[in-house]
Structure formats: C-alpha cells, structure tokens
Amino acid sequence: MKKHIVAGNWKMNKTATETDALIEELLEQDLDPNVEVIIAPTSIHLSQATQATNGSRISVAAQNMHQAESGAFTGEISASMLLGVGVQHVILGHSERRAYFGENDSLLAEKVQAALKNNLEVIFCFGEELSDRQQNKHFDLVESQLRNALFDLPAESWEHIVLAYEPVWAIGTGETASPEQAQEMHAFIRQLLVDQYGNDCAQSVSILYGGSVKPANAAEIFAKPDVDGGLIGGASLNATDFAAIVNGFKS
C-alpha cells in the first residue's frame, strides 16, 4: 500500500551547527504519525544527521550518490558509504542535478540500479521544463524520463522506489502547479505504472509532488487522490513550516 511521505531536500544549505539546530527543532514538532518524514541534509552532515535522528521517526536521505562502488572519482560518494553512516534513502534525478551536472536518463538508470543493489530506498525525481509544458510535450517528456531510467526494473524493485514529480518551472520560482495540474500528471504517472507493471504495483508506489509546496497550499495539493506527499525545498529549512506541510494531510 502506498504511503504518505514528506521529504525535505535541504540542498546546499545549513552548516554543521545549523543542521543540529534544525533537527532539534524538528524533533520538537508534533508531526502526523501517519506520514513518513525524511530529511536530506548536505552530504558532509549526513553522519551527524543520522546520529541526531536515531530512535526518532525521521529518516535521513542523501541528495545524490555515484553509481560506482568505489574508485578514482574525486569528490563522489558511493552507496556503501551512505549505508555506512546510517543513511536509508537517496534522492536521484533532481532537476538541478540534471540541469547543472548533465545527469541524463542513462546515467540515472545506473545510479538507481546501484542504489537498489545496496538496499537504499530511492526517491526518483523527474519533470518538465516550462517550454515542454508550453509546447504540450510535458506528458511525453515525463513518460520518457520514467521509461528510460526505471522501466527496465523488475516489479519487485518498485517496493523500494518513491517517485517525485517536479515541474521544473515551479521549483524555487514561487510558481506552483495548481492542485488540478498536479493531480492530472500524477494520475498519468500512475496509469503508466498500471500499463507497465499492473494495478497492484501501481497502487503501491508513492508519488510525491515537488514544486514550491508551502504550508498555505500543502493541504489542497495533498487532498488530490494521486498525490501521496511532497518533496519540499525551501520550506523544509524552517521547522515550523516543514511541520505544517507534514501535517497537511490532516487539514
């Protein structure tokens, strides 16, 4: 059965001291017990984050990982290294990784396979640019991103994958897809899974929305039947705002 999930992608924010302080604030919040809560601090703070959240209901994700087990890849981090510091999840395919670091579907397929091989839970991001939507190509683009990176996987792998749809034009811009636009795309994605893997698998996969989700709009977006939670950027850097979004399912 699909789960309600809210994940906070902290991106390149928060020093070590600030990371400790934000986690401490989050642990003091009254968070909906029916929502899985995940935070993704920057890589050099993952170890302290897993220690600080140990025994709590907050899980820790990495923002990225390399597809190789080890080797001459200066500055990179492998799946086994993430596991070694207690990380349980990894975000792959974020639009900023695609845009700024040239990550394509083929590379992301390798990263997903490496993560799954090492028993990491994958939060897989995808979504269209504004030009794709303006040209009415957004459905084709999303389908190709999913098909190229994920649809060679066996059905059992989907027990360890969460999808995160991010309309790129709504990330950090203040723009947000309407709840109806989000539901339309999430329903389309769900149907792709039905067609490829069957209804049982499709109904078990959580599909998150990522794109300027805030306390003011979270409840309306989360009320849509195929929106199972959110991948939160800026609002996850404030404990009170993030808690309000987590609690959006109760509104």
Cβ neighbours for 187, distance < 8 A, ≥ 6 positions apart: 225, 226
- 2 near 204, Cβ under 8 Å? yes
Question: Could you tell me the sign of the dihedral formed by the alpha carbons of 97, 103, 106, 109, in that order?
Answer: negative
Any catalytic annotation for residue 166?
yes
Any catalytic annotation for residue 94?
yes
Q: What is the DSSP string of 195-227?
A: HHH-HHHHHHS-EEE-SS--HHHHHHHHTSTT-
- 86 near 53, Cβ under 8 Å? no
Nearest to 148 by CA among 182, 183, 98: 98
Question: In the structure encoding, which two tokens stand for residue 209, read together?
Answer: 């929305």
Nearest to 104 by CA among 132, 126, 75: 126
SS3 165: strand
Say which of 4, 45, 89, 94 is annotated catalytic. Answer: 94
SS3 56: coil
Question: Looking at the annotation, which residues are catalytic?
Answer: 94, 166
